[in-house]
Structure 1
Amino acid sequence: MRVKHKIKVLIVDDSLLFRETLAKEIAQDLGIEVVGTASDPYMARDMILQLKPDVLTLDVEMPKMNGIEFLKKLMPQYPLPVIVVSSSSKNVLDALDAGAVEFVTKPEMTRSGGMSSFINELKIKIKIASTAKVGNLKKEYIPTNLVSGTGIDIKNAIIAIGASTGGTEAIFSVVSALPRDMPPIIIVQHMPPVFTKLYAERLNHSCNLEVKEAADGDALKPGRVLIAPGDYQMRLIKKSGGFFVKCSKEEKVSGHCPSVDVLFDSVAEVAGKKAIGVILTGMGRDGAKGLLNMKKTGAYTIGQDEKTSIVYGMPMVAFNIGAVDKQLPLERISEELVRFLSKQ
């Protein structure tokens, strides 16, 4: 019988206690092998060349060179899936910009069960990261800003986008290229609380559109992008004054809160053929059934292709079940949105 390859992990953290704890706990998973630990980026660089790990876990705050600078030097020369382990929200987003594929926040030791929950999440994300494609995808697939389309129907259309692993950069690539005169856009990106707000603020500073973390009751407006808050399910609702979002504390759906399926199902029910659905890179199947429901009610649906997806999971499942009208490389999705809306 063929022996399944274990995922080789290198742990980089300046705390000896934290490194040893991670190594001990992670190694209990039969599918993971901790091949080494390093206390700083210089040691990590040598160990990467020697041990050839499949996945790297990386602390951001370290002596000699911080994790973000290390990522910027590492990825062009030796691209491999990196999971950032940090207690700083801002640093995590900088690390994702620099090429990390996932992140896990360091646990609060005072909180009961915090370490156990952290280890379980890290194990899951190591397995997801091991399937990720990394390298020059980000540089290769950033589109240029689009000129405003003529005749875009900004009043009678809604764009719904869903993404997970690799989605922060994929969403940025799509949204940052869009002109200001776009219909309302509502987004679910799998991300915990605090990070969704910081991510929305970052997008807002680099886009033509207004981007904000959604709050319960926010109205959809042309030129506005609403991002579902972490730990809340977000739905589209219709009232006499137009379209709004409902954000509520609920259980996970399809393994996530916020869930893409929850958003897409509500868009199918409320907006029907007025909607456009976009499913981007991510592990698993969240959003696939919701996108199919959107398509069945007359929405136009787009899926990211395999070549440009960091993890070709969610868009693959959506494509395989017939939920995708058009499958495109990442750099062509914003262009397709403008083209489709301009012909309406």
Structure 2
Amino acid sequence: MAAKAPAIELDVDGIAVRLSSPDKVMFPELGADGGTKRHLAEYYRTIALFGDGGIMTALRDRPTHLQRFPDGIDGEEVYQKRIPAKRPEHIGTCTVTNPNGRTADALLVRHPADIVWAAQMGNVTFHPWTVRSVDVDRPDELRIDLDPQPGTGFAEARAVALDLLAPLLDELGLIGYPKTSGGRGVHVYVRIEPLWDFIDVRHAAIALARELERRAPERVTTAWWKEERGARIFVDYNQTARDKTVASAYSVRRTPRATVSTPVTWAELADVEPDDFTIATVPDLLARRGDPAAGIDAVAHSLDGLLERAEQDFADGLRDLPYPPQFPKMPGEPKRVQPSRDRDRK
């Protein structure tokens, strides 16, 4: 058996981050030549130190959960909401309240070294909240998650984004920033004024999703229950609910090729494929053409237009939609019963 490689130190903008077991293979398909813990940490150091935009723009001052794989992506997954009490001095935390009412001290990214430290912990993917630490109850980000269902894939999600979502955002006067999910989906972020609570933002997301569904019901669905979705793109409105997160921009995903959730321009979205973006390719891409989402904080939008649509939908008889199962029963929410098991519908 080969001797275990000794720990090393990585300098991250003046802070030394200890990296143990740097030769541990995190991505078996890539192996020792591109898929080790050191490759992962070096990727995150490069992206974290990028000057204008990059992962610091995506994570800074946001409570963040960690999706860790201490023994590589084929090993145990640890979805960590609470940061351990024993941690380096530079690691900050932010107290958030989960749907069950319990609080947790989540990672609060303030320095590039915080990101590399998470990689040392075996973190592969960062999952930031839609809020900033200054007000953890009022989101400043509307996230639109186009989630392919069986029979569809990235091509269909991309087409919905380009053909339907982009024109709708233009009509609403909202600037959307698209990115690949790192898998088959597409995410689009809209920076919003932090004036509304999680319920309001979720209602805005539902209104947007319903409008997309009205425009192309054969391609788009808001159905929460999988048995009703069919081969369509599900607009996952519940990604805007409290405590729900998606992979951040520039986060690595649990895929054999170590794909990366990568911001793209709307023009680029027409031609890219998820496998184009990996820990091996994204740093050069970012250095060559910059970050398309670097300006996301320049303008914060109002949700008034979408909330007016939500009010009209409710006035027209449409109800709220189901919450995820870990949430308590919410006001106005319909029954959380799978339609095929709902005796009242038979």
TM-score, normalising length from structure 2? 0.28
Q: Is the helix fraction higher in 1 or 2?
A: 1
TM-score, normalising length from structure 1? 0.29
